[in-house]
Amino acid sequence: MQSTLHKVWQLFTPAEQRKAVWMLLLALLMAVAETVGVISIMPFLSVLARPGVIEENQWLQAIYTQLGFTEHRTFIIGLGIVSIMLVLAASAFKTIVQHLLNRFVHLLRHSISSRLMARYLGQPYEFFISRNSAELSKTILAEVDMVMGNLIQPFSQVIVQGIVVVAMLALVFAYNPLTALAIVLVVGTLYGAIYLLVRKRLKRIGTEMVEANRQRYQSCNEALQGIRDIKITHAEAAYQQRYQQASRTQARHMATSETLSQTPLYLVEATGYTGLILIALALLLKSGDIAQVLPALGLYGFAAYRMLPAAQIMYRGFARLKFASATLDNLHRDMSLPRAAAPSASQAALVPQMEIRLQGIRYAYPSTPDKLVLDGFDLTIPVNTSVGIKGVSGAGKSTVMDILLGLLQPHAGILSVDGTPITPQNLQSWQAAIGYVPQHIYIADTSVAANIAFGVPEDQIDIQAVERAARAAQIHEFVTHELPQGYASLVGDRGIRLSGGQRQRIGIARALLHDPPVLFMDEATSALDHTTEAAVNEAIRSLTGKKTIVVIAHREASLQACDRILSITQTS
């Protein structure tokens, strides 16, 4: 429990932690308002039951004479009105505080999920090749919500309602300590026993629910991304079943957790009402006068009316805290990922003047640490020359390119530009000098222009630069003559409205957009027909001598224009 609270606390920024303390104070005031509301009913009920109490009670008498009352009736009406006003004021105050609490909780959700997204995006590329993307979306979108709904919101309720319960108990205690102790004993034992019985189960189904949710996201993601293959292989039923199984498990566990957190309500309600009737009878038997019993009964009744739901909400909060503890562990782990290294102050491109160099590179992927893809790999690329890299499939060509791009960190050896090693601090400057065409081009569901000027806000796109790059990539004619809205045409999810070759040319235009001094191309023309490939290659050939170019290609034709061809062989 303590570690759960500690983990929740660590999800907050220092400013949010301070705000949380303020919220706690407000909750305290809310409980005070609640108590004032209850206490204000006491004098009214007493006087209503037995007006003679005005003369017996020095406080009531002082108020009666000070305010110049002459008649009991008007005094009772006055007390009633004051009581109503206090209850109304307390309700208004509670509404405001509740709104502030809700706001705090929902803005926290926004803040935590935004920070988690930033934390993920700040991770090195290797992090993403080791984790499933559906799992990451699930944590950002579903688990933060889950933690808010099942942890922070119930936790804030545990505190607010805890204060209400304590205030109500104090009120009853002041009136009759024995009754207060009896209430604590009965209600506390009931809830405590039920909680001890269900907590292990809640934790277990909470853990299983996290796994079911992961499978739900993953099967959904895979099914929608691989829809072509699913259609061809008729794998709809298999995917549907995979999704359904996980979804059903999740639904069942959610329902069980709900039931387990609601169960004691009816039991405690029954106990509460039984207790109230027993107290009424005991009081009546003791005094024999219903008028004397009425105020005490009013107090107990109201305290029970406020306290039992509060105790139930508290219990529910604890139960949900237990249920969500596995989700919290997940979220806490990912929120504790290291922050991205701060880039150097200067973001100017690190343009090579002499050479780009890989020296003694050794690399193995995180999932297969014993299988070295590169071992003692050296490569020197003099500036403004072009290197073609060939080799059998799986030899490690793309891995070399990813290391040149600074996406993968070699385990040994260095990547340097003019003798300056590339580190996390100057990586951004190095990448600013590179235009890169990957093997699989990612096309976003936006306009052609926004896809070429990738990552630039729509209203800041330099359309002339976009057109220039598109001409070099041999896509300008297609965009202007065949797309209904030219560069503003939308390309669909992952560029579904474009052919493979058109997508590839958009990727090439993207790489050329800023006229980079360094150009890396990984199978950049593999999806083009011969005529288009020849035209693109011609455009790239015209750049030789003016840019430093590294090309990976299987087709010799794509490497013909290179100054040097390097053959990579698989390390055994």
Binding site for ligand ATP (CB under 6 A): 129, 365, 367-368, 373, 391, 393-399
Of 368 and 464, CB closest to ligand ATP = 368
Please state, in angstroms and rounded to a whole number, the distance separating the CA atoms of residues 169 and 178.
11
In the chain, count H helices and then E strands: 23, 9
Distances (CA, A) of 322 to 143, 150, 188, 314, 326: 15, 9, 18, 13, 8
Shortest Å, Cβ 396 to ligand ATP: 4
Distances (CA, A) of 274 to 281, 308, 368, 415, 424: 11, 13, 66, 78, 69
Closest to ligand ATP by CB, 85 vs 129, is 129
Shortest CA distance to 10 belongs to which of 331, 287, 371, 359?
331
Helix, strand, or coil (residue 450): helix
Cβ 401 to ligand ATP shortest distance, Å: 8
Which one-letter DSSP state was computed for residue 509? H
Which pair of tokens denotes residue 535? 């035209």
| Comparison of 192 and 394: residue with beta carbon closer to ligand ATP | 394
The distance of closest approach from Cβ of residue 508 to ligand ATP in the complex, given in angstroms and rounded to an integer, is 18
Find the shortest distance in angstroms from Cβ 416 to ligand ATP: 21
Whichever of 72 and 131 has its CB closer to ligand ATP, that residue is 131
Write down the least CB distance from residue 572 to ligand ATP, Å.
11
Closest approach of ligand ATP to the CB of residue 374, in Å = 9
Q: Residue 445 in contact with residue 494, Cβ under 8 Å?
A: yes
Residue matched to tokens 């907590």: 199
Q: How far is the CB of 359 from ligand ATP (least distance, A)?
A: 19
Q: Give the separation between CA 458 and CA 442, rounded to whole angstroms.
A: 18
Give min distance, CB of 478 to ligand ATP, in A: 27
Cα 282 from Cα 54, distance rounded (Å): 26
Cα torsion angle, 405, 411, 415, 420, sign: positive
Own/partner long-range contacts of 401-405 (Cβ < 8 Å, ≥24 apart)? 401/520, 401/522, 401/550, 401/552, 402/125, 403/358, 403/361, 403/363, 403/374, 404/356, 404/358, 404/520, 404/550, 405/431, 405/434, 405/436, 405/520
CA dist 63 and 72 (Å) reads 12
In 231-314, the DSSP E strands lie at none
Min CB(395)–ligand ATP separation in Å: 4
- Residues 361 and 413: their CA atoms lie apart, in Å, by 4
Burial letters 537-555, b for 16+ CB under 10 A, else e: beebeebbeebbbbbbbee
User: Which CB sits closer to ligand ATP, 399 or 431?
Assistant: 399
Residue 129 Cβ vs ligand ATP, minimum distance, rounded to whole Å: 4
Give alpha helix (H) positions in 176-235: 177-225, 227-233
Could you tell me the smallest distance in angstroms from the CB atom of residue 314 to ligand ATP? Answer: 48
Run of H or E including 377: strand 374-382
Select 176 or 571, whichever has its Cβ closest to ligand ATP: 571
Identify which of residues 295 and 406 has a Cβ nearer to ligand ATP in the complex.
Answer: 406
- Residue 111 or 398 with smaller CB distance to ligand ATP: 398
Q: Which is nearer to ligand ATP, 22 or 125 (CB)?
A: 125
Residue 109 DSSP SS3: helix
Q: Shortest Cβ distance from residue 426 to ligand ATP (Å)? A: 25
Strand order of the β-sheet with 420-421 is 374-382, 355-363, 412-417, 420-421
3-state secondary structure of 492: coil
Closer by beta carbon to ligand ATP, 199 or else 390 = 390
**Is the CB of 245 or the CB of 398 nearer to ligand ATP?**
398
Q: Which is nearer to ligand ATP, 118 or 412 (CB)?
A: 412
Cβ 118 to ligand ATP shortest distance, Å? 24
Q: In the complex with ligand ATP, which residue's Cβ is closer, 306 or 397?
A: 397
CB of 394 vs ligand ATP, minimal distance in Å: 4
Q: How far apart are CA 339 and CA 120, in angstroms?
A: 9
CB 436 within 8 A of CB 520: yes
